[in-house]
Amino acid sequence: MSSHKLSFTKVAETADVPAGALLKVKIKEKEILIANVDGKYYAIDNTCSHKKGDLSKGTLDGKIITCPQHGSRFDVTDGKNAGGPKMMMFRSKTDDLNSYEVRVDGNDILVFQKSTWGM
Ligand code: FES
C-alpha cells in the first residue's frame, strides 16, 4: 500500500450523497461537510467560522452553502467565505473554512487527512 493512499480516509459512499446533497462526517472528532455539486464531491469544515453553526443543516445552492444560523455563505469548492453573517440589516465578514481534497474510488468517497489532525 502506498503512503499516499494511507493519507486518504473513507468517509462515505457515493450513494450517501446524491447530487445537491450534503453529508456531515467525522474524522478523528473533526466534523467535515461533504457536498455533491453536479456529481463532483467537495469537503470543507462543517462548523461555521462565525458562531459554530452546523453547515450540514444549511442549504446548498449550486456551490454555495448558507449557514442555518445567521446566513453566512461559503463556497464548498474551496471553503472561501462568500458573504458573512447577516445581523440586523448588515452583512459582515467571517473567516474562510478549510477545504480538503476529495477522491472517489469506486463507490467510496475518500477525504485527504492532514497530518495536523493528529496522525
Ligand atoms: S453561525 Fe454561521 S452565520 Fe452565524
Q: Compute, in angstroms, the gap from residue 102 CA to the centroid of ligand 1.
A: 25
β partners of residue 100: 43
Q: What is the pTM of this model?
A: 0.89
Each residue of 43-83: pLDDT tens digit?
A: 999 999 999 999 999 999 999 999 999 999 999 999 999 99
- Using pLDDT thresholds of 50, 70 and 90, give the confidence band for residue 6: low
C-alpha cell at 59: 442549504
Residue 28: predicted pLDDT = 87
Delimit the domains of the chain by residue range. Answer: 3-113
Q: Is 39 helix (H, G, I), strand (E, B) or coil?
A: coil
Q: Compute, in angstroms, the gap from residue 14 CA to the centroid of ligand 1.
A: 28
| Ligand 1 pocket, residue 58 CB under 6 Å | no
Across the chain, mean pLDDT equals 91
Dihedral angle sign, alpha carbons of residues 80, 40, 18, 16: negative
C-alpha cell at 94: 467571517
User: What residues contact residue 95 under an 8 Å CB cut-off, 6+ apart?
Assistant: 49, 81
β partners of residue 27: 30
In the CATH hierarchy, which top-level class contains the domain 3-113? mainly beta
